[in-house]
Amino acid sequence: MPHWTEKVPDEVGEILIDERQIQKRVAELGGAITRDYQGKNPLLIAVLRGAAIFYADLIRHIDLKLRIDFISVSSYGAATRSCGEVQLLKDVESSIRAVDVILVEDIIDSGLTVDYLLRNLRNRGPASLRTCTFLSKPSRRQVQVQIDYVGFEVPDRFLVGYGLDHNQKYRNLPFIAVLDGV
């Protein structure tokens, strides 16, 4: 396994959340979901691609019979800020009617993408619908959305690592860092 502190790319700046902090918090989130959904079999829907790493770690900390699915949207393209228009690229394959659903995101900043997804999923008649995000940037919120499980609140800086990217790079960093010059 790479020793990232020695091989951090030059453009990656300050590490805001290290690997140890991430793993501890993901375990706590998994424990909270386990407690809240005792006796239920929730469907966890990951928003691709960014949430994939968080999602994989999270579901290993949930001690329930659960199902998984994926959805993919685009609201950024190559930009560093959401353009506000959300395009559905891949829909879930499972029916969610009368199912307890948890939407799992990597980061919620403006709230526009999650708002779109929640409205879309609510129209399908789930028994319940909650959100779990690894990171939240409340200072960027344009649309208020309910977030039921939050890993960390972060400042309004461009972040990479642990699934978050810039032009499809840096997703594999095991920590969250500021991308310098963006």
Domain assignment of residue 3, yes or no: no
Q: What is the pLDDT of residues 57-75, one digit of tens each?
A: 999 999 999 999 999 998 7
The domain total for the chain is 1
Q: CA 109, CA 58: separation in Å to the nearest integer?
A: 20
Is the model more confident about 166 or about 76?
166
Q: Is 109 a catalytic residue?
A: yes
pTM: 0.90
Q: What CATH number is given to the structural domain containing 105? A: 3.40.50.2020
pLDDT of residue 29: 98
Res. 146: pLDDT tops 70: yes
The arithmetic mean of pLDDT across residues 96-123, rounded, is 96
Domain assignment of residue 163, yes or no: no
CA distance readout (Å), 65 to 37, 51, 59, 105, 145: 10, 21, 10, 21, 27
Domain assignment of residue 73, yes or no: yes
Among 57, 100, 106, 109, the active-site one is 109
